[in-house]
């Protein structure tokens, strides 16, 4: 059986890569994450189903505005498997995003999820950039009730376009979508990326790189 699977993969390598890239379908009613387990799997080990309670499937607080008093003027309140163990193996997550007037959810990537983004209050500029070599910027101003999709792995962002606060809900196609904020990753890595590398990559003076790294 295993040999046959290997042969099929060799004949259709791309298809196998696509198939194996996604979270496996559940093989039972649920697999509530045991966040205390030392077992290391693609996801979390399952909690004993006899010990599962309603609270394992419950999260409270998305009605509470996030604290946007920060340099970018936004706050993400995630609901991933880390906050809601019942999401384990289900392949979904969500988040609330709050924005100050003109606040920004900075350019970032979800390496494991596509996202559908819905505006609850306010007006937001939403956009993403296609991959190399086109690097095409696709943007749309969204209003209350509008939805917009960010494809998996592409750099995307939002900006509040109004003088009042804005709120949105994001739904993501992974229990643990991950987030790579571009500025934090590039200029705030630990240890730091060599100034010479970043200066050449961004085609700027080394002093500018030093200044940017000092902020993260």
Binding residues for oxalate are: 105, 110, 115
Task: List Cβ neighbours of 99 (8 Å cut-off, separation of 6 or more).
Answer: 68, 73, 74, 105, 122, 124, 158, 159, 160, 165, 166, 167, 168
Vertex 34: Cα angle to 31 and 39 (nearest 5): 105
Task: Please state the residue numbers annotated as binding site for Mn(2+).
Answer: 108, 110, 115, 156
* Rg of the chain, C-alpha, whole Å: 20
Nearest partner of 90 among 98, 101, 79, judged by Cα: 79
Q: To which H or E segment does residue 116 belong?
A: strand 115-121
Which phi and psi angles does 21 have, rounded to 5°?
-75, -20
- Measured CA to CA, the distance from residue 135 to residue 101 in angstroms comes to 28
Residues that constitute the known binding site: 105, 108, 110, 115, 156
CA 77, CA 170: separation in Å to the nearest integer? Answer: 10
């Amino acid at each position: 059986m295993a040999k046959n699977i290997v042969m099929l993969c060799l004949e259709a390598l791309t298809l196998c890569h696509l198939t194996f890239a996604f979270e496996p379908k559940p093989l039972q009613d649920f697999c509530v994450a045991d966040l205390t387990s030392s077992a290391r799997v693609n996801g979390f080990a399952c909690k004993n189903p006899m010990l599962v309670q309603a609270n394992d499937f419950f999260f409270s607080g998305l009605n509470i505005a996030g604290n946007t008093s920060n340099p970018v003027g936004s706050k993400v309140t995630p609901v991933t498997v880390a906050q809601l163990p019942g999401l384990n193996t289900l392949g979904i997550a969500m988040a609330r995003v709050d924005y100050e007037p003109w606040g920004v959810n900075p350019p970032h990537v979800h390496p494991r999820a596509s996202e559908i983004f819905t505006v609850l209050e306010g007006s937001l500029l939403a956009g993403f950039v296609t991959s190399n070599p086109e690097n095409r910027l696709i943007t749309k101003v969204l209003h209350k009730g509008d939805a917009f999709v960010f494809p998996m792995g592409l750099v995307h962002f939002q900006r509040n376009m109004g003088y009042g606060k804005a709120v949105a809900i994001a739904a993501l196609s992974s229990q643990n979508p991950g987030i790579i904020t571009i500025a934090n990753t590039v200029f705030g890595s630990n240890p730091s990326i060599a100034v010479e590398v970043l200066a050449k990559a961004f085609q700027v003076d080394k002093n500018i790189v030093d200044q940017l790294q000092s902020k993260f």
